[in-house]
Amino acid sequence: MSQISGFSKLTKLEKIDWITTHYLSNYPQAKSVIKQYWNSDEALQKLHDEFTENTISNYYLPLGVAPNFEIDGKLYAIPMAIEESSVIAAASKAAKFWLDKGGFKTEILGTTKVGHVHFNFEGNPEHLKAFFNSVKSKFFSETASITKNMEKRGGGIKDIQLINKTDSLKNYYQLYCTFETVDAMGANFINSCLEQFGHTLEAEARSYQEFISEDTYPEVIMCILSNYVPECLVRAKVSCPVSALGDTKEEAERFVRKFSQAIKIAEIEPYRAVTHNKGIMNGIDAVVLATGNDFRAIEAGVHAYASRKGQYSSLTHVKVEDGNFKFWIEVPLALGTIGGLTSLHPLVKLCLAMLNHPSAEELMRLTAVAGLAQNFAAVNSLVTTGIQKGHMKMHLMNILNQFEANETERADAVEYFKTHTVTHSEVINLLKKMRA
């Protein structure tokens, strides 16, 4: 294994030469695999190469579509970028299921985003408070050039508060800053404002009389947005009479009993909650990725929200009231439909066009719905047939692809596994028999 300096300055072909020589000598096809995934359209390839650094190829994810989502009375086909089998099928099935039961309803509970200037101060907290109040307006005036365009679009800085955190950490204070970023995810805007707040804080402190006489000044540690956005929150729900959930009264009641208990288990048992929410994120991440948003930010924020009461818990909830089954999700989603990749990546542009160019709020609504639908489908399977049945059907296709099964072999295998359990070895045995 080797080390190198100046790797980033090499051309793409030189990078490939270096990496294949030093780390892929055990993989003779390396160069051809890397190149196989290049796009023949040079401009498009250049665009992808420039999204990030040290690129050698493209990493594909399947892009699928889950149709028939009725959300707040409007029909959507939701684009989903995900490699996991069954997820898009499950979303589509849940969408269809709720289509004739009133569809999904959503509500935006807030769109506030948060960022901090984290700083140290060793002096008198009362002096710091007085200083903050005397210079607060400067934080706004000195970011005017950054906030001008955002304000034109209806956003901007909402508030800035001084928070004393010295009970938890010696000398630690923050400027707790809230923002409205409208249709942008807003990371650049927020971080630019925060860095200016940091400069203003330090510069103004230098001429503040109390600090000069005490010979102590605030020292900025860092300025950064938070991906924890409990006030950028959306709720999505479905409801229907309990009787609509089974062919007979007994069947419907059994389903609701088991389904509700499954949700309550995820509310109180973190082991289950993690898997339960993972299923929700199958839907959410797939939409987040397809629409060019930052799924790591969403993941971090969602899981923090799921732990906000001190124990990791379910994002979805259920209630049966007056013979009605009600199932909902509440989830923080700081999403954008302008800026970032949204105007650069051709497939992201296509996905946003498929959704008829949604606002960020609309994207929050339908992403939450994708999560709720996914959870409904997963828990529905878990409390009835189990998930393996559906999974293994898709898994069968993956195994058949892996062994390059032809059309006849595929059709025969699908027929055979209608009455047999799919296992990796069973599929291989069947293919061997067919090919003998």
Q: Which residues are catalytic?
A: 84, 278, 294, 391
- Taking CB under 6 A as the criterion, the residue among 22, 152, 158, 278 binding ligand MEV is 278
Site for ligand MEV contains 388 (CB under 6 A): no
DSSP bridge pairs for 314: none
We find the least distance from the C-beta atom of residue 232 to ligand MEV, in angstroms, to be: 25
Provide the strand spans (E) within 333-403: none
Residue 212, both tokens: 């000069």
Q: Judging by beta carbons within 10 Å of its beta carbon (0-12, 13-18, 19+), is residue 280 exposed, middle or buried?
A: buried
**Which residue, among 144, 167, 168, 164, has the nearest Cα to 156 in the 3D structure?**
144
Q: Binding string to ligand MEV for residues 337 to 376, with x set by CB under 6 A, is what?
A: ----------------------------------------
We find the least distance from the C-beta atom of residue 61 to ligand MEV, in angstroms, to be: 15
Task: Tell me how far apart the alpha carbons of residues 252 and 321 are, in angstroms, rounded to a whole number.
Answer: 15
Q: How many CB atoms lie within 10 A of CB 177?
A: 23
We find the least distance from the C-beta atom of residue 251 to ligand MEV, in angstroms, to be: 21
Span interacting with ligand MEV, options 100-108, 112-120, 273-281, 404-412, rule CB under 6 A: 273-281
Q: For residue 83, how many C-alpha atoms fall within 13 Å in the half-sphere facing its CB?
A: 4
Check if the beta carbon of residue 301 is closer than 8 Å to that of residue 228: yes
Q: Which is nearer to ligand MEV, 131 or 305 (CB)?
A: 305
Q: Is 391 helix (H, G, I), strand (E, B) or coil?
A: helix
Residue 404, both tokens: 């390059």
Site for ligand MEV contains 387 (CB under 6 A): yes
Task: Tell me how far apart the alpha carbons of residues 2 and 80 are, in angstroms, rounded to a whole number.
Answer: 39
Q: Which is nearer to ligand MEV, 114 or 286 (CB)?
A: 286
We find the least distance from the C-beta atom of residue 375 to ligand MEV, in angstroms, to be: 6
We find the least distance from the C-beta atom of residue 370 to ligand MEV, in angstroms, to be: 14
- Taking CB under 6 A as the criterion, the residue among 378, 396, 399, 431 binding ligand MEV is 378
Site for ligand MEV contains 282 (CB under 6 A): yes
Residues 6+ apart with CB under 8 A from 258: 383, 384
Closest chain position to ligand MEV (CB): 279
Q: Which is nearer to ligand MEV, 21 or 275 (CB)?
A: 275
Span interacting with ligand MEV, options 5-13, 277-285, 297-305, 357-365, rule CB under 6 A: 277-285
Check if the beta carbon of residue 313 is closer than 8 Å to that of residue 266: yes
Q: Which is nearer to ligand MEV, 138 or 391 (CB)?
A: 391
Span interacting with ligand MEV, options 211-219, 334-342, 377-385, 410-418, rule CB under 6 A: 377-385
We find the least distance from the C-beta atom of residue 272 to ligand MEV, in angstroms, to be: 8
Long-range contacts of 252-261 (CB under 8 A, 24+ apart): 255/380, 255/383, 255/384, 256/320, 256/325, 258/383, 258/384, 259/318, 259/379, 259/380, 259/383, 260/318, 260/320
- Taking CB under 6 A as the criterion, the residue among 276, 291, 298, 369 binding ligand MEV is 276
Long-range contacts of 240-244 (CB under 8 A, 24+ apart): 240/98, 240/101, 240/102, 240/324, 240/325, 241/323, 241/324, 241/325, 242/320, 242/323, 242/324, 242/325, 243/323, 244/101, 244/325
Q: Which is nearer to ligand MEV, 363 or 378 (CB)?
A: 378
Site for ligand MEV contains 198 (CB under 6 A): no
Residues in the interface with ligand MEV (CB under 6 A) total 10
Q: Which is nearer to ligand MEV, 226 or 374 (CB)?
A: 374
Q: Is 283 helix (H, G, I), strand (E, B) or coil?
A: helix
Q: Which is nearer to ligand MEV, 92 or 111 (CB)?
A: 92
Residues forming the site for ligand MEV (CB under 6 A): 84, 275-276, 278-279, 282, 378-379, 382, 387
